[in-house]
Structure 1
Amino acid sequence: MEEGAILKPYELRFSDLMRLSSDEVPSSLEEIERLESITRSVMENLGPTGPGLLAITGVPNASSLRRTLLPLARKLALLDTDDRKRVLKENGLGSDVPLKNLERTVSSFAMQLKYVQGVERTDNEASHDGDDSQNKEQYYHDVEMLGELQDSEFNNLRNSFKELGFCMMELGLCLARICDRVIGGQELEQSLLESCMAKGRLIHYHSTLDNLILKEAAKGKRSTKGRISNKSQKLHVSRVMEEFTGNKQTQRSGNEARSFGIHSNLWQQWHYDYGIFTVLTAPMFILPCHPLTTRVNGCFCISCEQECPSPCGHSYLQIFDPNKSRVIKVKTSPESFIVQVGESADILSKGNLRATLHSVCRPENLEELSRETFVVFLQPAWNKTLSLTDYPVQHLLTSGQCSGVCTEDSLGAEQELNKLTQLHKIVPPLSSRLKDGMTFAAFSRETTKQYYGGSGLQSNR
């Protein structure tokens, strides 16, 4: 199996997405032919012989929305527990990962997004929130070892989250409408609208340094009461930096030891999304301004950070291509959105769309680097019935392993076959999770159980 290949997804311009999804009749034969060509490319890339994803570019305001929201993921993840609970509550956010786990590789902050017209509702909802200004002083205290972080940074968190989320939901709806026209019927678009809502997640992928900071902050909180002194802060920071620098070589050796195997050294484990479409921003990579130093007062600076380009020039999102039996890393521009096909779209389209098996790898030897992204999961209604009538049987049996045309000779080595076997064990085949007539709710429960349940196969996600 070949690894290390780079994929630059097919790019669909926002203006063309709007034209293709509208009922407006093209003005010329030339325009008709151009749009038909684009439609074929869309279906080829989302279909069974393509990668199962594409990029949408030229979305208005995408750059400013992304730059406003994504840096808040790291700030939320590194907040003191009590402050984070308060900020999340004030902004109507929750978390779908155990934030008490200091070994977690991601922090995820989630909100249900309703299908509404425009973003006017965002402003209206915000205006009806209670005035918590009197409570802020009561709850606010120093973020231990990390210094003070002003509440003003999160003043527009709810609005930014919803505004970008609604934008991404519209992209998914328009793409569903295009696919329906080719496949026939309105199954995908209607399934999205009947669900009434989607889930948005603001995700921070932790650097090694982030985890050390969180652990040391937890130690400091247990050993002190109330506000901690500058002397204590300096001692905490000193320990973090000593552990961080002292363990760099050990961590690097560990990464190298774990690099064997397709599921190792990952920020997020291999999996399929089980909804219809997953819409993602291009990731943002962040380095602390002073990764190995402290400020004069002994505090480690988290509010002062810098965006940096991808160290390897790609997004660290990687997909598995069963047609060629290889792992491909996805490269896309910072201003674009990635749309991935989920298993429900695969099922509802009778195999005309192909779900994308994917994971997020992490860079080696860059322990200070974190990754931020925003994701919207578009899914059917919970009571939507999933039928297997006319669905390709071979799709039920696969779980990312190579197709029947792949042989040991074509893969080349026993080590590569071992990697494929490991992937097969990690990702349960669709046939083990889906039965004909099962509701989407039951399918999602069974999928979650098999990925994250008793066997713990995906415990590191």
Structure 2
Amino acid sequence: MRIGILPIPGELVFGNSRLLKKDEDGTCYIETYVVGQGDMAEAEILELFELHYSDLKLLASSSSSSSKEDVERLETIRANIMESLGPRGPGLLSITGVPKASNLRRNLLPLARKLALLNPDHRKRIFKDHNLGSDVPLKNPERNVSSFAMQLRYEQGGELDNLKSSDQDLPDDEFKNLGNTFKELGFCMMELGLCLAQICDKAIGGQELEHSLLESCTGKGRLIHYHSILDNIVLKEAGRKSGSSRRQANRKNDLVDCITGEKKQIEHTNVDVNSDGVGLFGTHSNLWQQWHYDYGIFTVLTDPLFILSSCLLENTEKEQYTLSCDKESPSPSGHTYLQIFDPSKNKVRMVKSSPESFIIQVGESADILTKGKLRSTLHCVCRPAMSENLSRETFVMFLQPAWSKTFSMSDYPTQNCNLDGRCSGVPDDKRNLAEQDGIRLTEEIRKIIPPLSLRLKDGMTFSDFSRETTKQYYGGGGLQSNR
């Protein structure tokens, strides 16, 4: 592609992007590099309690160990689980050593980005073949997130299809196992959530969480691609028609303007919403997904995969931008970029987990059903600083009660901050700057997130609760997606 006076290899083209090489015909290969994470310096690192899969299964089983040492060890682990998920803990933990998880994760997560950037007609065909849907508007080139969703039923676990899809007739068949891999990883994650519910029930007494999950029969899987700035440029360029020769002569300026516009959009980012959680606007200027509570029982997430891409400016008649040289990349900071807010300490904490582990976090329904013995997690997903070419891929299972499940507010601790919206402390001269900043952030969050006491009434069903929650966050009728 000819864009006037071409830069020399190694010269900055825009922001922190560098020209790798240029061909004789004018084709430019551009790479954006990652620099330090200045925006992460103030976030406290949270290294999650790690529960090995074998111990998860032992604790969830009804059989007892005959070894005194084993009994004592497992009781210590159980106590650590309840401390992590309880009112004084962060409300989440990680699970390691899950069989087959590594291969399933590695095979599925890269497909999130490929689906997001795929030709819409091709993607529609894949959706039909693999029974997928989306709960974000994929036609919107301004979106920060692409999500691909499917409902899974507990009794279908292990019943995978031998798909013979029309993808076989396409130039490549990289999506031929998409549906089965989605289901297999999803059922695996549903099992993790169900086992954790059994462990929590034993510690609390009763079988409320387990019965609530089984009564619902379903979990919702979402394969999620968090866009890099370069991804958004490609989506916008794909939607443009070939312009005039004068416009084509100014493509370099268009590219610079597009990058600048994307950065400004991040600074004033819109809320990315889904039908399983709720978000807020205004407490962070560089988020992929806004602060929110999930309102189900448990949310099970894979450790994220990061993909680094180069931008190729093709010398074609259509003058389109595409991404090339995609490669897996370690997290720039070693974190997941999942952030939680601890209201009891007025602190933002950055979640760090072991590679290829699973994270399970508590939703508001579990908080309500256990009378506050488990604590729901206020969280967001932030962007790495100065990383225009880095995308984030993850797979999430939302486990929730049946829509007809009735909530009771009797014996629920009314002093719970999430219930009445009261947060401890106000800024004063006796507190240090860090404490005052934490309190101000707490107040900002409290102003925007409707307290639980205004969204939940005694005797309300989960369906009513989810509708009222969505209504208070976003207005309108609060109707949820059926997918």
TM-score by length of structure 2 reads 0.80
Q: 2:212, 2:402 within 8 Å by CA — same for their partners in 1?
A: yes
**1:19 to 2:58 alignment:** yes
User: C-alpha distance in 2, partners of 1:330/1:49?
Assistant: 16
Q: 2:233, 2:259 within 8 Å by CA — same for their partners in 1?
A: no
What is the match of residue 423 of structure 1?
A: 445
What is the match of residue 141 of structure 1?
A: none
Q: Which moved more, 1:344-353 or 1:426-435?
A: 426-435
**1:160 to 2:198 alignment:** no
Q: 2:312, 2:322 within 8 Å by CA — same for their partners in 1?
A: no
What is the match of residue 356 of structure 1?
A: 377
User: C-alpha distance in 2, partners of 1:244/1:334?
Assistant: 35
Q: Judging changes above 3 Å, is the alpha-carbon distance between structure 1 residues 76 and 272 closer, same or farther for their aligned structure 2 residues?
A: same
User: C-alpha distance in 1, partners of 2:112/2:199?
Assistant: 33
**1:95 to 2:134 alignment:** yes
Q: 2:151, 2:220 within 8 Å by CA — same for their partners in 1?
A: yes
In the TM superposition, what is the alpha-carbon distance from 1:299 to its structure 2 partner? 6.7
In the TM superposition, what is the alpha-carbon distance from 1:453 to its structure 2 partner? 2.6
SS of the residue 2:332 aligns to: coil
What is the match of residue 327 of structure 1?
A: 348
Alignment equivalent of 2:411, drawn from 379, 386, 390? 390
Q: Per-residue CA shift, 1:89-115, capped at 9, x if unaligned?
A: 111000001111111110000000100
Paired residue type of 2:326: E
**1:285 to 2:323 alignment:** no
Matches within 5 A, 1:11-410: 11-116=50-155, 118-119=157-158, 121-123=159-161, 126-127=162-163, 132=166, 136=169, 150-220=171-241, 239=251, 243-245=254-256, 248=259, 262-288=283-309, 290-291=310-311, 294=314, 302=323, 304-395=325-416, 398=419, 403-404=423-424, 408=428, 409-410=430-431
Paired residue type of 1:107: S
What is the match of residue 456 of structure 2?
A: 434
Higher normalized helix content (fraction of residues):
1
Percent identity between matched residues is: 60
User: C-alpha distance in 1, partners of 2:152/2:264?
Assistant: 43
Q: 1:262, 1:420 within 8 Å by CA — same for their partners in 2?
A: no
Q: 2:337, 2:351 within 8 Å by CA — same for their partners in 1?
A: yes
Q: Judging changes above 3 Å, is the alpha-carbon distance between structure 1 residues 397 and 318 closer, same or farther for their aligned structure 2 residues?
A: closer
User: C-alpha distance in 2, partners of 1:82/1:248?
Assistant: 27
Q: Which moved more, 1:401-410 or 1:13-22?
A: 401-410
SS of the residue 1:382 aligns to: coil
Q: 1:107, 1:204 within 8 Å by CA — same for their partners in 2?
A: yes
What is the match of residue 143 of structure 1?
A: none
Q: 1:62, 1:335 within 8 Å by CA — same for their partners in 2?
A: yes
User: C-alpha distance in 2, partners of 1:269/1:80?
Assistant: 28
Q: Per-residue CA shift, 1:183-232, capped at 9, x if unaligned?
A: 00000000000001000000000111111111111113xx59xxxxxx99
Paired residue type of 1:166: F
What is the match of residue 471 of structure 2?
A: 449
User: C-alpha distance in 2, partners of 1:40/1:295?
Assistant: 62
Aligned length: 423
Q: 1:180, 1:186 within 8 Å by CA — same for their partners in 2?
A: yes
Q: Judging changes above 3 Å, is the alpha-carbon distance between structure 1 residues 205 and 402 closer, same or farther for their aligned structure 2 residues?
A: farther
User: C-alpha distance in 2, partners of 1:133/1:43?
Assistant: 46
In the TM superposition, what is the alpha-carbon distance from 1:452 to its structure 2 partner? 2.6
Paired residue type of 1:361: C
User: C-alpha distance in 2, partners of 1:74/1:161?
Assistant: 14
User: C-alpha distance in 1, partners of 2:362/2:389?
Assistant: 32
User: C-alpha distance in 1, partners of 2:327/2:253?
Assistant: 23
User: C-alpha distance in 1, partners of 2:192/2:432?
Assistant: 38
SS of the residue 1:59 aligns to: coil
> CA RMSD for the aligned pairs?
3.0
Q: Judging changes above 3 Å, is the alpha-carbon distance between structure 1 residues 415 and 60 closer, same or farther for their aligned structure 2 residues?
A: closer
In the TM superposition, what is the alpha-carbon distance from 1:269 to its structure 2 partner? 0.7
Paired residue type of 2:99: P
SS of the residue 2:142 aligns to: coil
Paired residue type of 2:233: L
Q: 2:135, 2:149 within 8 Å by CA — same for their partners in 1?
A: yes
Q: 1:341, 1:354 within 8 Å by CA — same for their partners in 2?
A: yes
In the TM superposition, what is the alpha-carbon distance from 1:263 to its structure 2 partner? 2.9
Q: 2:107, 2:181 within 8 Å by CA — same for their partners in 1?
A: yes
Paired residue type of 2:63: E
Q: Judging changes above 3 Å, is the alpha-carbon distance between structure 1 residues 418 and 299 closer, same or farther for their aligned structure 2 residues?
A: same
Paired residue type of 2:394: T
What is the match of residue 146 of structure 1?
A: none
Q: 1:323, 1:402 within 8 Å by CA — same for their partners in 2?
A: no
Q: Judging changes above 3 Å, is the alpha-carbon distance between structure 1 residues 8 and 416 closer, same or farther for their aligned structure 2 residues?
A: closer
**1:4 to 2:43 alignment:** yes
User: C-alpha distance in 2, partners of 1:257/1:278?
Assistant: 28
User: C-alpha distance in 2, partners of 1:107/1:426?
Assistant: 25
User: C-alpha distance in 1, partners of 2:55/2:382?
Assistant: 32
User: C-alpha distance in 2, partners of 1:76/1:257?
Assistant: 26
TM-score by length of structure 1 reads 0.84
User: C-alpha distance in 2, partners of 1:91/1:347?
Assistant: 35
In the TM superposition, what is the alpha-carbon distance from 1:80 to its structure 2 partner? 1.4
Q: Judging changes above 3 Å, is the alpha-carbon distance between structure 1 residues 185 and 414 closer, same or farther for their aligned structure 2 residues?
A: closer
Q: Per-residue CA shift, 1:324-356, capped at 9, x if unaligned?
A: 101001011221000000000000001000000
In the TM superposition, what is the alpha-carbon distance from 1:426 to its structure 2 partner? 2.4
Q: Judging changes above 3 Å, is the alpha-carbon distance between structure 1 residues 216 and 10 closer, same or farther for their aligned structure 2 residues?
A: same
Q: Judging changes above 3 Å, is the alpha-carbon distance between structure 1 residues 82 and 440 closer, same or farther for their aligned structure 2 residues?
A: same
User: C-alpha distance in 2, partners of 1:364/1:153?
Assistant: 32
What is the match of residue 37 of structure 2?
A: none
User: C-alpha distance in 1, partners of 2:315/2:237?
Assistant: 17
Q: Which moved more, 1:38-47 or 1:25-34?
A: 25-34
Q: 1:108, 1:201 within 8 Å by CA — same for their partners in 2?
A: yes
User: C-alpha distance in 2, partners of 1:209/1:350?
Assistant: 45
User: C-alpha distance in 2, partners of 1:282/1:367?
Assistant: 21
